Amino acid sequence: MDASLPLMIGLAAASALILCWLLRAAPAGRHPVARAGRLLEVAVGLFLMLGMLYAGTLQVVVRYAPAGALFASWTEEFARLMLIWMTFWGAAMVQRTGSHMAVGVFYDVLPGRAQRIVSLGADVVVLAVLVVLVKEGWQTATLQIGQTMITLDVSIAAFAYAVPVGCTLMLAYVVIDLGLRLGVGRGAEQGSGNP
C-alpha cells in the first residue's frame, strides 16, 4: 500500500472538520452531549462523503495520467468502502431527523389518535427489522474477519460492519422516538412524525 492512502484519509478528515466548523454543525442552545453527538455524526458523515469523493477523483486522475506517473490501486476499494459506510451512516442520520421517505396520503387524513397508533406500529415494525439486521449483520461481518481486501490490506469485514453499526444507531433513534411517542420524558422534543 502506498503513502497516498494515509494522505487521502488525512485530507478527508481535515476537510470534514473544517466543514463542520464552517457549517456550525452543532447548533447552540442544545445540551452539550447532544451537541457533541450531532457534531460527531456530521463530521463522520462528511468524512465518508469526502473520502469517497476524493478517492473517486484520484481514480479518474490516475486512469488518465501518463503510464507509471501515478499509482493508486486502492482507490476503487476505498471509494466502495466509503459508499457502503456512508449509506448506513446516512440512514441513521435520516432516522434521527425522521426524514426517511414516507407515503403520507392516508396518514395525513387520519385523526390524531389514529396517527399516533400508526406511528407506534411503524416504530415497532422498524424496531423488529433493525434487531434482525443488527444480529445478522454482526454474524456476517464476524464470519468475514479472516478475509482481506486485495489492495487495502484490511479485512473484508470492514465492509460488512457498516450494517450492524448503522442499524444499531438507527435502532437507538427508533427507541428514542418510541419513548417520545409513548410520553417518556414529557416536555422533550416530539418524535419524528410520519411512520
| pLDDT tens column, 86-97 | 999 999 999 988
Q: How confident is the model at residue 1 (pLDDT cuts 50, 70, 90)?
A: low
Q: How confident is the model at residue 27 (pLDDT cuts 50, 70, 90)?
A: low
Mean pLDDT along residues 34-56: 89
Query: How does the average pLDDT of the chain come out, rounded?
Result: 85
Three cell numbers written together for 177: 422516538
Three cell numbers written together for 137: 449483520
Q: What's the pTM value of the predicted model, to 2 decimals?
A: 0.82
Q: How confident is the model at residue 85 (pLDDT cuts 50, 70, 90)?
A: very high
| Angle 176-102-108 from CA coordinates, rounded to 5° | 95
Report how far residue 75's alpha carbon sits from residue 101's, in angstroms, rounded to the nearest whole number.
32
Mean pLDDT along residues 130-158: 92
Three cell numbers written together for 88: 448506513
Report how far residue 159's alpha carbon sits from residue 142's, in angstroms, rounded to the nearest whole number.
11
